[in-house]
């Protein structure tokens, strides 16, 4: 009994159920992405604002008014993307290669070591920690602070991605196609994250020297919610979507043309097993320890601020604020991840179009990297009249398209019993990221007694700085350290027990993909 995926089936039942499995995701795509994008495009040609209902057409005036600011806002995201890509490829890739050559001990050490940095997804908490550390706004480049904070996360993700390649083989002939594919995905993802970064550039203030805006997300927020020019903000959102759409379509086509899939890792025989000798183990341990220390150093401001649990500074019932921080994103995550995983199973496992089933990913590709930044103005305009603040706090566009793509690759090559823990971990991390988002809580959390913790902490900082308040700053409630440690434990467990048994393949499907070679009991017993 193996953990490999079944062979491709073209039976009518597989075709029917495979197509049916994609329908919920398509509904979520249309309602959460396509319709808002169309409305945003239409609004970008009008002078609509939040202070009046009527809007007159203005042609390309909005684009002319904002194009220079938008172009300037691309500068630092490009720098950030270059830094992240070089870090993930250079440091993460090197660590993955050394760990792969060191054998199981090296791989497990690298995977477990970076579980905590990978769990530290507290976007709002980490940004606010730097705000507290630097009393003067603008005293630190916001994206540099973001890079330093997530240095360990980048290393961990990069090592995880490249280990999928090197679990197949460390020989250049076998590894190069996978390395190039992973590098392309890392570069596109880094640029998309930089373009949509909001918490760090917004909370740390505008750059003292350089472009007026450090990211398009801050530009959109300013035009929509500070000057109420929704038409101009919509033009910014359309320009942002065009860039992200090109990235998404490019990555999707590369994955399809490369015939990428995740399979169970081949178990080498005694004649071909990597040596995993002491030299490789020592090298892997030294590199792992050095990079981990750098990653933890970048997290120092957040780790120190996470000890502050001043309940009096919260200004209300702590449980109420926590529930409005974590429960609305949980609803969005459950709906979005379930829809994405179901579609991924339909495409990857049931194969309704046979070997061309991955073409079903193309309708989702233009929104693969689209986050809240470009969707927020439209969401505000069409959800502002909802009576419940709790419902309003549910992030718009719940479908988690990256999970859909990842699920399709997973279910294509491994059985659902092995793929589900990875999908579950992706759902957990999606929930944490959404619960730690700064943009939507700042827009939707307007009730003082039930505002998300991000808003509460920002108000406490404002009171401390500008009104002479003597209360504490309850940063520990944003992403409590015990919760972070639980997330880290989940990451470490899935890394060691599941991801370490998987490999990335490209090219034509082989018999090994269908037959499988890695029995879990044998894998744990042989020590390879």
The verdict on residue 270 lying in a domain is: no
Categorize the per-residue pLDDT at 483 as very low, low, confident or very high, splitting at 50, 70 and 90: very high
Query: What pLDDT is attached to residue 521?
Result: 32
* DSSP SS3 for 54: coil
Indicate the pTM of the whole model: 0.90
Burial of 79 (0-12, 13-18, 19+ CB in 10 A): middle
Query: What pLDDT is attached to residue 59?
Result: 92
Q: Which two tokens stand for residue 257?
A: 């043309």
Query: What pLDDT is attached to residue 243?
Result: 97
The verdict on residue 186 lying in a domain is: yes
Query: What pLDDT is attached to residue 511?
Result: 53
Query: What pLDDT is attached to residue 467?
Result: 55
Strand-strand pairing, 502-505 and 261-264: antiparallel
CA distances (Å), 249 to each of 95, 188, 243, 355, in order? Answer: 30, 11, 10, 19
The verdict on residue 5 lying in a domain is: no
Query: What pLDDT is attached to residue 62?
Result: 94
Q: Structural domain tally of the chain?
A: 1
Query: What pLDDT is attached to residue 411?
Result: 96
Over residues 23-66, the pLDDT tens digits come to 999 999 999 999 999 999 999 999 887 766 678 899 999 999 99
Burial of 116 (0-12, 13-18, 19+ CB in 10 A): buried
Owner of token pair 């065009």: 242
Rounded to whole angstroms, the Cα distance separating 261 from 230 reads 42
Rounded to whole angstroms, the Cα distance separating 111 from 164 reads 12
CA-closest candidate to residue 409, choices 388, 423, 429: 423
Categorize the per-residue pLDDT at 272 as very low, low, confident or very high, splitting at 50, 70 and 90: very low
More confident residue, 168 or 98: 98
Average pLDDT over residues 80-97: 96
The verdict on residue 2 lying in a domain is: no
Over residues 319-366, the pLDDT tens digits come to 988 999 999 999 999 999 999 999 999 999 999 999 999 999 999 999
The verdict on residue 45 lying in a domain is: yes
The verdict on residue 6 lying in a domain is: no
The verdict on residue 365 lying in a domain is: yes
Taking a C-beta distance cutoff of 8 angstroms, is the pair 522, 268 a contact? no
List alpha helices for 210-266, DSSP H: 216-221, 230-257
Give the CA dihedral 83, 88, 92, 96, nearest 10 degrees: -150
Rounded to whole angstroms, the Cα distance separating 459 from 171 reads 55
Query: What pLDDT is attached to residue 269?
Result: 41
CA distances (Å), 83 to each of 151, 155, 194, 215, 358, in order? Answer: 10, 12, 11, 16, 31
Host domain of residue 70: 12-49+58-264+275-526
Give percent of the chain above pLDDT 90.
60
Rounded to whole angstroms, the Cα distance separating 441 from 456 reads 10
Query: What pLDDT is attached to residue 309?
Result: 79
Provide the residue count of the chain: 528
Query: What pLDDT is attached to residue 173?
Result: 82
Give percent of the chain above pLDDT 70.
87
The verdict on residue 220 lying in a domain is: yes
Over residues 113-153, the pLDDT tens digits come to 999 999 988 778 888 888 887 755 556 778 888 999 999 99
Taking a C-beta distance cutoff of 8 angstroms, is the pair 106, 278 a contact? no
């Amino acid at each position: 009994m193996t953990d490999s995926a079944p062979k491709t089936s073209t039976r009518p039942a597989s075709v029917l159920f495979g197509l049916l499995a994609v329908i919920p995701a398509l509904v979520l795509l249309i309602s959460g992405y396509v319709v808002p994008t169309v409305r945003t495009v239409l609004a970008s040609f009008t002078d609509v604002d939040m202070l009046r209902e009527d809007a007159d057409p203005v042609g390309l005036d909005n684009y002319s008014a904002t194009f220079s600011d938008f172009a300037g806002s691309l500068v630092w995201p490009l720098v950030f993307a270059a830094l992240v890509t070089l870090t993930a490829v250079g440091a993460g890739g090197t660590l993955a290669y050394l760990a792969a050559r060191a054998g199981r001990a090296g791989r497990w050490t690298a995977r477990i070591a970076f579980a905590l940095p990978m769990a530290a997804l507290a976007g709002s908490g980490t940004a606010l920690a730097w705000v507290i550390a630097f009393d003067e706004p603008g005293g630190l480049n916001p994206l540099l602070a973001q890079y330093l904070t997530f240095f360990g996360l980048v290393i961990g993700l990069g090592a995880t991605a490249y280990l999928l390649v090197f679990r197949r083989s460390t020989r250049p002939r076998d590894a190069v196609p996978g390395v190039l594919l992973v590098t392309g995905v890392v570069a596109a993802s880094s640029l998309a994250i930089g373009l949509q970064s909001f918490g760090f550039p917004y909370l740390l203030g505008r750059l003292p020297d350089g472009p007026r805006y450090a990211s398009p997300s801050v530009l959109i927020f300013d035009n929509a919610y500070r000057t109420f020019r929704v038409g101009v903000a919509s033009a910014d959102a359309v320009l942002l979507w065009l860039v992200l759409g090109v990235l998404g379509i490019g990555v999707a086509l590369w994955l399809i043309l490369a015939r990428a899939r995740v399979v169970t890792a081949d178990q080498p025989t005694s004649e071909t097993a990597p040596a995993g000798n002491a030299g490789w183990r020592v090298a892997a341990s030294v590199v792992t320890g050095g990079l981990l220390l750098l990653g933890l150093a970048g997290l120092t401001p957040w780790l120190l601020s996470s000890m502050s649990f001043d309940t009096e500074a919260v200004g209300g019932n702590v449980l109420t604020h926590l529930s409005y921080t974590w429960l609305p994103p949980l609803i969005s995550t459950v709906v979005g991840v379930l829809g994405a995983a179901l579609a991924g199973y339909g495409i990857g496992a049931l194969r309704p179009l046979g070997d061309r089933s991955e073409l079903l990913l193309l309708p989702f590709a233009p929104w693969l990297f689209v986050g809240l930044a470009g969707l927020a103005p439209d969401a505000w305009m069409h959800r502002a009249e909802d009576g419940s603040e709790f419902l309003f706090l549910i992030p718009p566009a719940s479908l988690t398209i990256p999970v859909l793509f990842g699920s399709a690759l997973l279910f294509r090559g491994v059985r659902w019993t092995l793929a589900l823990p990875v999908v579950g971990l992706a759902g957990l991390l999606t929930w944490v990221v959404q619960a730690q988002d700064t943009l939507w809580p700042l827009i939707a959390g307007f009730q003082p007694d039930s505002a998300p913790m991000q808003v509460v902490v920002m108000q406490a900082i404002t009171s401390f700085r500008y009104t002479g308040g003597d209360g504490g700053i309850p940063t520990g409630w944003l992403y409590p350290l015990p919760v972070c440690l639980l997330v880290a434990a989940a990451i470490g467990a899935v890394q060691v027990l599941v991801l370490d048994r998987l490999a990335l393949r490209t090219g034509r499907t082989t018999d090994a993909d269908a037959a499988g070679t890695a029995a879990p009991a044998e894998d744990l017993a042989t020590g390879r």
